[in-house]
Homo-oligomer: A and B are copies of this chain.
Amino acid sequence: MKGYLPVFSDSLLFRGISQDDLPRMLNCLNARRTRHSRQDLILREGEKISELGFVLFGQAQVTKDDYMGNRTIFADILPGDVFAEAYAFRKELPVPINVISITESEILWLDCGRITGICSKVCNFHTKLVENLLFIMASKNILLNRKIEHISKRTTREKLLAYLSDQAFLQGSRAFSIPFNRQELADYLCVDRSAMSSELSKLQSEGIIRYKLNHFAFLNMPPR
C-alpha cells in the first residue's frame, strides 16, 4: 500500500488527510482491495453495491451497452478517482453501468456505512472524508446540471453557443480553449461531428466566433 501514498494525497477524496492516519483509517473503514486484469469487469450492470470504488492503480472506463450492442463510454477513470459513489449510497438500486478495467488495475472499496457511521474511536478524519465526499458529489452534480443545460438546447448552434459561452465565462475571458477535440465535443453535445463542424464554420463566417483547433474566441462577448 506504501506505493500508493501519492495517489491518496493527490486525490480529492483523501485531500487534507495526513498520510500517517491512512492505515488506521482504512482499517476503520473496512477497506478492501481488488485486482483486475485488462478487460476485466470491475463492476457489472445490475449489481448492487454499498461500497464506493477508488482507483489505486491503472485505468478503467464507465460504459453502457445498449440493446443494439453499441457501447457508450461515460467516463474514463484514473488513479485517485472515485466511481459508483452515488449507487453505493443508494444500495437498493442496481448499478446501470459497467466499469471495465482498461489496463491492469487495483481498486480500493470503501464501505459507505462506515464513512458516515460514528466510529467508536472518534476518528477525526471521518469529518474530513465526509467533507471531501460531499465536495465530490456536489461537483459531479454541478457538472451534470451544466451538461443538461447544454444538451437541452434544440439546435446544434444553440448547443454550441451554450457550451462555448459557458467555457468563456468559466475561464473569465472571451478567448478560451476547450478540453475536447471535435469528435469529443460532438459526443458531449450529442450531435453529429460533421454537422457540428459545419455549424462552427457558419458561426465563424457570421462573425460570431473565431476558432482554430481547440482555441476559441467570441468576437462579441455573449451576454450573461
Contacts and interface: CB of A to CB of B under 8 A. Distances in A.
Interface of A: 64, 67, 72, 85-90, 93, 96, 112, 116-118, 122, 124, 127, 130-131, 133-135, 137-142, 144-149, 151-154, 190-192, 222-224
Nearest to A113: B131
A148 B154 contact: no
B141 A86 contact: yes
25 contacts: A64-B149, A67-B222, A72-B152, A85-B138, A86-B141, A86-B145, A87-B138, A88-B138, A89-B135, A89-B137, A90-B135, A90-B138, A112-B134, A116-B127, A130-B130, A133-B134, A134-B134, A140-B141, A147-B148, A148-B148, A151-B151, A151-B152, A151-B190, A154-B190, A154-B191
Contacts of A147: 148
A18 B222 CA distance: 50
Report copies per complex: 2
Contacts of A153: 190
Contact of A124 (B118, B131, B149): B118
B141 A141 contact: yes
